[in-house]
Structure 1
Amino acid sequence: MSTSERLIESTRELLWERGYVGTSPKAILERAGAGQGSMYHHFKGKPDLALAAIRRTAEDLGATAERVLGGPGTPYERIEAYLLRERDVLRGCPIGRLTMDPDIVASDELRAPVDETLDRIRELIAGIVEEGKELGQFASSLDGEEIAATVLATVQGGYVLARASGSPAAFDTGVRGLLSLLTPPNDPIT
């Protein structure tokens, strides 16, 4: 892995663990095993490196969501697969973590990849809900955009509840509750 790649990956990990303020250039260099001038050779400074790391995290999360939501199955099954996919629940969401960081939220540039990724996932889910309505698998009264926002809120809120309780059970409970509300008529969850 090149030095610039090690710097990006180290910054991604540190942003997830410590947030923007807690991610010092010194910590990045130590984690990356890079020399003092390396960061400034490859990046203009911490904000530039953080932006590269945030973009990479956003791209990875978006690609995972697209792969799961675009997979096989009925609209319900694809949303179910997204909600039930393997996650490190107690660690939290790397994108969700960024939304809680005041320095990232205050920066239009740093916040943009986060917002774009969440919008992309919301649009995918909304489209699946509309597809399910057309196929008669979801109630015609459902609003795709509202359900998509609810799915994202359940996932992000589930991370918070799980971290607060120290148990993934809180995340799982929220997901099961949402799935029970989305269960197609005459098709109870087993």
Structure 2
Amino acid sequence: MDTPDRLIESTRELLWERGYVGMSPKAIQQRAGAGQGSMYHHFSGKPDLAFAAITRTATELRAAAEAQLSGPGTATERIATYLRRERDVLRGCPIGRLTQDPDVMADPALRRPVEETFAWLQDQLKGVLAEGRRRGELDAALDPASTASTIVAVLQGGYVLARAANSTAPFTQVVDGVLGLLAAHAASPGSSSPTQGAHGLCS
């Protein structure tokens, strides 16, 4: 990695480990193996680096989620693939944990990529659920918008429960629970027919 990348990656690690207030410019420089002059040549300071780090994390999470949610299968299968993908559950969600950092939340620029990521995820899930309803996979009573918000909230709650118990079991149970609720909304055979010409998530 070049110097800017090393600085950004070091900032991401320190944000995760110490939070914004515990992340000093000196610590970033030491971990990145970069001098003060080099750091300030590429970035205006700690807030600028934090923004770059949070934005990179958000971009990576979006790319992974989009790949899973736009893959093959029914709406429920694609959501299951997303929810059950490999995660470092006990460390928590790298974006969700930032909502507990008062310094990040107090700064509109740092809060924006966090807020936008959750809004984006809810919109993607809403699209998958709406497609499933159009195709006749899910019954018409399911509301895509509120269900998408529920999935995101349950997922974040699963991280909290797992960290509190120091076990991944609560997270697995939460995922199984939300998928069970989706299964309960599976359309009965013959109850509805897919919309002809319905567009997929990425069309």
TM-score range, shorter chain: over 0.9
How far residue 36 of structure 1 moved from its aligned partner, in angstroms, is: 2.5
In structure 1, C-alpha distance between the alignment counterparts of 2:139 and 2:187, rounded to whole Å: 8
How far residue 125 of structure 1 moved from its aligned partner, in angstroms, is: 0.3
One-letter amino acid matched to 1:103? D
What RMSD, in angstroms, separates the aligned Cα atoms of the two structures? 1.3
Corresponding residue for 2:195?
A: none
CA contact (8 A) 1:76 1:182 kept: yes
The answer to whether the aligner puts 1:113 opposite 2:123 as a matched pair is no
How far residue 185 of structure 1 moved from its aligned partner, in angstroms, is: 5.2
In structure 2, C-alpha distance between the alignment counterparts of 1:23 and 1:155, rounded to whole Å: 27
Relative to structure 2, which stretch is displaced further, 72-81 or 131-140?
A: 131-140
Corresponding residue for 2:29?
A: 29
Corresponding residue for 2:122?
A: 122
CA contact (8 A) 1:58 1:113 kept: yes
Residue correspondences, number: 187
The answer to whether the aligner puts 1:76 opposite 2:68 as a matched pair is no
In structure 2, C-alpha distance between the alignment counterparts of 1:59 and 1:71, rounded to whole Å: 18
Mark the runs of 5 or more structure 1 residues left unpaired by the alignment.
none
Relative to structure 2, which stretch is displaced further, 178-187 or 46-55?
A: 178-187
In structure 2, C-alpha distance between the alignment counterparts of 1:154 and 1:68, rounded to whole Å: 18
TM-score (norm 1): 0.95
Relative to structure 2, which stretch is displaced further, 35-44 or 70-79?
A: 35-44
TM-score (norm 2): 0.89
- Residues 52-71 of structure 1 mapped to structure 2, 5 A cutoff: 52-71=52-71
Cα-to-partner distance string for 1:74-129 (whole Å, 9 max, x where unaligned) = 11100111110110000111101111111111111111111111111110100111
One-letter amino acid matched to 1:149? S
- Residues 1-190 of structure 1 mapped to structure 2, 5 A cutoff: 1-183=1-183, 184=186
Name the CA shift for 1:176/1:8 in 2 (closer, same or farther; >3 Å).
Answer: same
Cα-to-partner distance string for 1:39-74 (whole Å, 9 max, x where unaligned) = 211100000110011110110111111111011111
> Rg bigger for which structure?
2
In structure 2, C-alpha distance between the alignment counterparts of 1:35 and 1:14, rounded to whole Å: 17
In structure 2, C-alpha distance between the alignment counterparts of 1:5 and 1:56, rounded to whole Å: 10
In structure 1, C-alpha distance between the alignment counterparts of 2:39 and 2:97, rounded to whole Å: 24
Mark the runs of 5 or more structure 2 residues left unpaired by the alignment.
190-203
Relative to structure 2, which stretch is displaced further, 88-97 or 132-141?
A: 132-141
List structure 1 runs of 4+ shifted beyond 3 angstroms: none
Percent identity over the alignment?
61
